[in-house]
Amino acid sequence: MPQKNNQQLSVVPVKRVDDVSAIATLALLVAGAVVVLLPLGIVAVTSFVPMNAQTGHDSNWTWQNYQQAWLQGDFLLAFANSTLVALLVTGGQILTSALAGYALARFSFRGKQALLLLILATLVIPFQMLVIPIFLVLKWGHLINTYGALILPTIANGFGIFLLRQYFQTIPVELEEAAAIDGATRFQILWRIMLPLARPALITLFLFTFIGEWNDLFKPLVFTTRPELRTVQLALASFQEQFTNNWSLLMAAVVIATVPVMLLFLLGQRQFIRGIATTGIKN
């Protein structure tokens, strides 16, 4: 009997330690969430503040800032341009990354490791360092002030190639061998077997690329001057004046530009997390 009592007493402190650890972890997560969400909350609240309220006059919150920001920024055109550019760039990166990633994952050829290292080396080169040669090439091809100037410079990316290469290596080779025995070609294996199995990695690449292109200001600012090619980020930049800013109007524009990508990320977050977690298992 004394032994049983000792065992019961020894369990209690362990349980209390687990409870304290769980509470501390929850507190840290809540604190982190507050730190992350507080700036977003300030932006959202400021976007509803009327213009005259900024000067100290009492007034109720209003949607007028959103209406004025939508019209002043011409966001309908900006949304159309940003969506078109982001989708085409994303589609191009998925295509090039799938082909190159599959070749690096499954084919054996001379210089394969050197080529992989060269692709990885491109990840540490800022796009801004390449802007002058890219601009000259686009000018030579008469692509300045066209959609081609916004799409072609980033239609291939080393990150996407490496991501899909790593994911393809996690797929058993036996599946491809069985398909090859049934008479499937390499392209059929890639299209019907590898790409469906690599769905988490494809969604991860889609989210990375689409959100990156949606938030890109550098390319539209350097390669275009036509108002018809205005993107969402150029529309946001038009709200910032040299000496004064209408913060309510600017915050409303920020919310308008941010909501689409937030919804897109929320829809694909499960596949995004799975794609990140399952890549890089094999070297």
Give residue 36's pLDDT.
Answer: 86
State residue 110 phi and psi, 5-degree precision.
Answer: -65, 135
Q: 0.85 exceeded by the pTM?
A: no
Q: Please name the residue that has the structure tokens 């550019």.
A: 85
Please list the alpha-helical segments (H only) found in 48-129: 64-72, 75-106, 112-121
State residue 59 phi and psi, 5-degree precision.
Answer: -165, 155
User: Could you report the per-residue pLDDT of 61-104, keeping only the tens digit for each?
Assistant: 778 889 999 999 899 999 999 999 999 999 999 999 999 999 99
Can you tell me the distance from the alpha carbon of 192 to that of 184, in angstroms, rounded to the nearest whole number?
9
What letter does residue 190 receive in the DSSP assignment?
A: I
CA proximity to 229, closest of 121, 149, 111:
149
Question: 64-278 sits in which CATH class?
Answer: mainly alpha
pLDDT at 9 over 50: no
User: Could you report the per-residue pLDDT of 102-161, keeping only the tens digit for each?
Assistant: 999 999 989 999 999 999 999 999 888 999 999 999 999 999 999 999 999 999 999 999
Can you tell me the distance from the alpha carbon of 135 to that of 150, in angstroms, rounded to the nearest whole number?
11
**44 confidence band (pLDDT: 50, 70, 90):** confident
Task: Please check whether residue 158 is in contact with residue 119, taking contact to mean a CB–CB distance below 8 angstroms.
Answer: yes
Can you tell me the distance from the alpha carbon of 86 to that of 161, in angstroms, rounded to the nearest whole number?
18
Can you tell me the distance from the alpha carbon of 68 to that of 248, in angstroms, rounded to the nearest whole number?
10
CA proximity to 231, closest of 122, 79, 114, 118:
79
